[in-house]
Structure 1
Amino acid sequence: MNRPLLASILVLAAAATQAQAASPIGGATMPRTPVQSDALGPKSDPTPTVAEAVARTQIEKSGYTSVRGLQRTGDGTWRAVARDPRNAPVAVALDNQGNVTQAR
C-alpha cells in the first residue's frame, strides 16, 4: 500500500470516530449532566424506623415539607432540616410533647 492511501484511510477513520462520539444516539459517549446536590442534604434512609416515620409525619403536619437528615438527640428531641411554607430550608426540632419549632 502506498503512503498517501494509508494516510487518507487513517484520516477518514479518525473523522468517523469523532462523528460517532458526537452522535445524539451515542449513549455512553454523550456528555452527562452533573448530579445536582440538594440544599437540604442527602435523602434519608429508604427504610426508616417507626419512630422516625412518626417524627417525620409530625413535622410535616406542622406545615414543613422535604424533611431531611432526621436524627434523634440524647434527650429524645428529633432534629432535621426541612422547607418552611416559603420553601426556604430551615432547621426544625420536635420535642417529646410533639411541639415542632424552628431550631437555631
Structure 2
Amino acid sequence: MGGLDGGCPGGAALTVTQQIGGSIGTAVFTALYAEMVASAAPAGSGPFAGFVEGYSTVFLAAAVGVPLAAPISWFTVRVPRSGFVADAEAVHLG
C-alpha cells in the first residue's frame, strides 16, 4: 500500500491519538461522576439522588466540552484530498 496505513497518511498516529483521547475523556468523566455521587450521599437524600446528580453533571460537562473542542479539531486536523489513495487495494483481516 505504499507506506500508508489504511489509505491515509499517519493513520496509525491518528488511531493512537483517538484511543488516548478517548481514555482521558472517560477517566475525567468517571472521576467527575464519582465525585458528584460521593458529595450527594451525605446530603441525606434518597439512594438514587447521587446517581442522578452524577449523571446530570457529567452530561452537562460533555455538552459544554463538545462545542469547546469542536473548533480545535476543525482547525488543527487537516488531511488534504491528495492524502487519500483513490485506488488502494482492499485489506481483508479475516
TM-score (norm 2): 0.28
Q: By percentage of residues, which structure has more strand?
A: 1
TM-score (norm 1): 0.26
Question: For the pair shown, which has the larger CA radius of gyration, 1 or 2?
Answer: 1
Q: By percentage of residues, which structure has more helix?
A: 2
Larger RCO (CA within 8 A; separation ≥ 6): 2
